[in-house]
Amino acid sequence: MKIEKIDVFVSCPGRNFVTVKVTTSDGVYGLGDATVNGREQAVVAMLQEHVIPCLIGRDAHNIEDIWQYLYRGVYWRRGPINMAAIAAIDMALWDIKGKVAGLPVYQLLGGKSRQGVTLYAHANGESIEQTLANAEQHVSNGFKAVRLQSAVPGLEVTYGVLGDKKDYFELQGSRPLPPEETWSTPKYFDLVVELFEQARSRLGNQVQLLHDVHSRLTPIESARLGKLLEPYNLLFLEDASIAENQTAYKTIRQHTTTPLAIGETYNTLWDCKDLIQNQWIDYIRVAATHAGGITALKRIADFASVFNVQLAPHGAPDLSPVCFAAHMHLNTWVPNFGIQEFVGFGNESLREIFQHEFTVQNGMAYVSEAPGLGVEFDEQAALKYPYKRSYLPVSRLEDGSMWHW
């Protein structure tokens, strides 16, 4: 079964998605997600110029060899663009193998370790009151875990808060250039401790609470935040600090028992090897699209299991339903599963392009039993929503200094 053709599509149903379709000589095809938010066309060029020509005529069954060929076989290893290209091909080949076998991908990984996948929802608001009202809404819809983000008083905008936009799609679609936002650590500290104090008294102790720092704190500031939040028993604190220097998390770990999660920007196991083997984190948040696909996530999860670190894949709206489906199969199989981030696929144009077969009920997601990944892609619908340049914001301190994203 030879790889005969590989097509790349960029569609923008509010946000840009790079979708790869691998077609074999038998007529079976598979889908992969290669979206790198704000750098979408770089992955398209990587695929079209440097990856696809090397794969035509290869045996589509040899997923591992093709992964190694694309990773080891080039002089320039790692990096988000390279790894997203590898990831999309890898997902598509797993999709093909499942379709040929007549089995959903989780069966090829080892079968079910659980009936459903626990999700956490996003609750955000312009005030603590609004955030907690949103959280209560999620809880009444059956969610057992909610991430809380609230606008920081005194700052014009706060990342992760929608303001007057109806969803993350509308928010991102309004940014043809990166907007510049202001950050203040002292103002944030005043807000965040109050947010969780009120959350616990209003939501009780049975709801799992999470929070994303978006890497805005230094390691010792994160350590202090973790300590201050200990009474409110978070499931985890996400991206507490930048970890290009992985040892930074040792500082945080030494000072707090608040569980720590990181990994959505990581591209390989090498980016989190020290964090995992030193047990400086509790959850690894890699995404199939950004860390090399199903083959690579399976390997990271197995490594993490040795050190009691659980898989909690990234689930932001810049990952297409194809990536989410890959996570669903991994999460259904993986023994050391933590939780899955979920923002929903309610956007109508997105649903016109991608039809998925997983279901969501009472804060749980249930994997598709369709052969392969269980996602369909409508090429004609995708053409109706062409690529539009759009960016995430950048962050500056109040004195104008560039700060961590």
Where do contacts with Mg ion occur on this chain (CB under 5 A)? 212
List, as own/partner pairs, every contact residues 65-74 make where C-beta atoms lie below 8 angstroms and the sequence separation is at least 24, other chains included.
Answer: 66/90, 66/93, 67/292, 67/293, 67/295, 67/296, 71/292
Three-state DSSP class for residue 316: coil
Shortest reach from residue 265's CB to Mg ion, in Å:
9
Q: Is 40 or 212 the residue whose CB approaches Mg ion more closely?
A: 212
Three-state DSSP class for residue 163: coil
Tell me the CB-side half-sphere exposure of residue 23, using CA atoms within 13 A: 6
Nearest residue (beta carbon) to Mg ion: 212
Q: Is 44 or 171 the residue whose CB approaches Mg ion more closely?
A: 171
Q: Is 135 or 319 the residue whose CB approaches Mg ion more closely?
A: 319
Calculate Rg over the CA atoms of the chain.
21
Shortest reach from residue 264's CB to Mg ion, in Å:
5
Q: Is 212 or 318 the residue whose CB approaches Mg ion more closely?
A: 212
Cα dihedral sign, 129-133-136-138: negative
Shortest reach from residue 330's CB to Mg ion, in Å:
18
Residue 283 annotated among the catalytic residues of the structure:
no
Structure-token pair, residue 53: 């020509």
Tell me the CB-side half-sphere exposure of residue 245, using CA atoms within 13 A: 7
Cα 88 from chain centroid (whole Å): 14
Active-site position among 29, 106, 120, 159: 159
Cα 288 from chain centroid (whole Å): 8
DSSP state of 72: T
- Interatomic CA distance for residues 283 and 277, integer angstroms: 12
Shortest reach from residue 316's CB to Mg ion, in Å:
6
- Interatomic CA distance for residues 24 and 126, integer angstroms: 50
- Interatomic CA distance for residues 15 and 253, integer angstroms: 36
- Interatomic CA distance for residues 96 and 82, integer angstroms: 22
Shortest reach from residue 153's CB to Mg ion, in Å:
22
Q: Is 50 or 214 the residue whose CB approaches Mg ion more closely?
A: 214
Residue 249 annotated among the catalytic residues of the structure:
no
- Interatomic CA distance for residues 261 and 251, integer angstroms: 15
Check if the beta carbon of residue 211 is closer than 8 Å to that of residue 175: no
- Interatomic CA distance for residues 107 and 96, integer angstroms: 14
Shortest reach from residue 261's CB to Mg ion, in Å:
9
Cα 231 from chain centroid (whole Å): 28
Please enumerate in sequence order all residues whose Cβ is within 8 A of that of 23, keeping only pairs 6 or more positions apart, or say none. Answer: 3, 4, 5, 6, 7, 29
Structure-token pair, residue 8: 């790349």
- Interatomic CA distance for residues 96 and 108, integer angstroms: 12
Shortest reach from residue 15's CB to Mg ion, in Å:
15
Q: Is 44 or 135 the residue whose CB approaches Mg ion more closely?
A: 135
Q: Is 149 or 182 the residue whose CB approaches Mg ion more closely?
A: 149
Active-site position among 50, 61, 69, 214: 214
Q: Is 33 or 212 the residue whose CB approaches Mg ion more closely?
A: 212
Shortest reach from residue 270's CB to Mg ion, in Å:
21
Say which residue the tokens 């983000």 belong to. Answer: 149
| Residues that are catalytic | 159, 214
